[in-house]
């Protein structure tokens, strides 16, 4: 078992590396296509089904600046696989270099408990939780843009900002149930 470490390698010049982890490989590819369109700096997108990453490419693999777990709420498996992958990350990643991206949150077939579970997971790890509309091209572009905002900070491309700083502003909180009737 090998841990992925955030600071074991040197960063490249004007480069940001992002790792998209998705068990079902549905959204990964379109998101990656949208991500590499950035022109201001080089974006390397790595895709994985789950962690740990295979040992064979260990040497050639660049330093990963941001790990994104994509969770499809309509599938229980997708959540479980993300949860299982988490333990192959170095604790250093949880200082702002991990985020969760959820798809299908507005779907009728999603039980509310499923979303709550993801929220709890993200909140307990102090990570941001982003929602994405993977069905529409606009939604994909927007999701890529938002990941890019976080990635730029995580890769050190924004002066005066660190990923830990950003994550203290964006991390997920578990909301109390709004549905709960309040008896005044």
Partner 1 sequence: MAPKKNLLGPTDSDSSSVSDQSASNRSVNRSLRVAEKERRKNEAEDPLVLALKYFSDVEAGTPVVGNDEFENNLVLVERAAYSKGLSSEAVAVMLEFAMSLRMGTSPCVRVLKCLIPSTVVPQEAVVRAVVWLGVGKIPISTQVLFIKWVLTVFDMIDAKDQLRSIYGFIFSFVTEENLCPFICHLLYLLTRKESVRVFRVRKLLELQSKLGRQPFLLHLLSLYKVFCPELVTLSVPSRMRSGFRNHNSPWKSALIAVQKRNGSQVASSSSLPFTIKDMSSSRKRKHGHLELPVLSSLVNKQAQTESFSRKLVPLVQLHSFTQLLENMHRIELPAQMGSLLGSSLALQYLDCVQDESALLRLNFWLGYALHEEFLFCGDGRASQNSEEALQFLDKLLSTQHFLQEAFSSSEAFLYKFLSVWDGSLLRPQILSLLSHIPVVPSAQIGRLLFEPLMQLFFTSSLFFKCGLIECLNNMLLKWLTWHSVYALEDDLDISLNSHTSINMTLSGFKDSVMELVHFVGRLASVGLQLEGCHSLLLSFILDFYETVCDTFLRYGLPLVVMPPPAVFYPVLFSPDPVSVDRLAYIMYRYKVNLTSAKSQEKVTEQAFHISRQTFREFNNYVVVMVNCLWNSKMFHPGMGVQLGEELLLKSNVPQYWTSFDLVNHPAFLSYAVDFHQRCWPGRKDVDLNSIKHSKPWSWYLEYLYSQGYDGLKQFVPAP
Query: CA nearest 71: which of 16, 28, 19?
Result: 28
Q: Which stretch binds partner 1 (CB under 8 A): 3-11, 43-51, 61-69, 125-133?
A: 125-133
Distance between CA atoms of residues 72 and 173, nearest Å: 20
126, 158, 162, 164: which one binds partner 1 (CB under 8 A): 158
Asked if the bond preceding 52 is cis, omega within 30° of 0, the reply is yes
Query: CA nearest 1: which of 43, 55, 44?
Result: 55
30, 92, 133, 162: which one binds partner 1 (CB under 8 A): 133
Distance between CA atoms of residues 44 and 40, nearest Å: 13
Task: Report the greatest alpha carbon distance in the chain.
Answer: 62
| Structure letter (DSSP) for residue 110 | S
Smallest gap from Cβ 14 to partner 1, in A, equals 16
The smaller minimum CB distance to partner 1, of residues 53 and 98, is found at: 98
C-alpha 56 chain-centroid distance: 24
How many residues make contact with partner 1 (CB under 8 A)?
A: 42
In the range 46-75, which residues lie near partner 1 by CB under 8 A?
none
Q: Which stretch binds partner 1 (CB under 8 A): 14-22, 41-49, 85-93, 144-152?
A: 144-152
Distance between CA atoms of residues 99 and 128, nearest Å: 5
Site string for partner 1, 77-116 (x = CB under 8 A): ----------------------------xxxxx-----x-
Residues that bind partner 1 (CB under 8 A): 105-109, 115, 128-133, 135-136, 138-139, 141-143, 145-146, 149-150, 153, 158-161, 166, 169-173, 175-176, 178-179, 181-184
């Amino acid at each position: 078992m090998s841990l992925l470490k955030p600071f074991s390698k040197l960063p490249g010049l004007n480069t940001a590396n992002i790792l998209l982890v998705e068990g079902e490989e549905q959204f990964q590819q379109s998101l990656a296509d949208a991500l590499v369109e950035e022109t201001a700096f080089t974006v390397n997108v790595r895709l994985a089904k789950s962690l740990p990453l295979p040992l064979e490419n260990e040497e050639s693999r660049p330093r990963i600046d941001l790990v994104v777990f994509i969770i499809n709420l309509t599938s229980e498996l997708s959540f479980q696989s993300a949860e299982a992958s988490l333990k192959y990350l170095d604790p250093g990643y949880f200082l702002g270099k991990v985020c969760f991206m959820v798809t299908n949150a507005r779907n009728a077939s999603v039980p509310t408990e499923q979303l709550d579970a993801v929220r709890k997971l993200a909140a307990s790890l102090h990570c941001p939780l982003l929602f994405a509309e993977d069905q529409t091209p606009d939604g994909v572009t927007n999701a890529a843009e938002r990941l890019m905002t976080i990635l730029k900070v995580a890769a050190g491309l924004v002066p005066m900002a660190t990923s830990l700083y950003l994550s203290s502003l964006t991390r997920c909180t578990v909301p109390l149930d709004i549905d709960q009737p309040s008896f005044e």
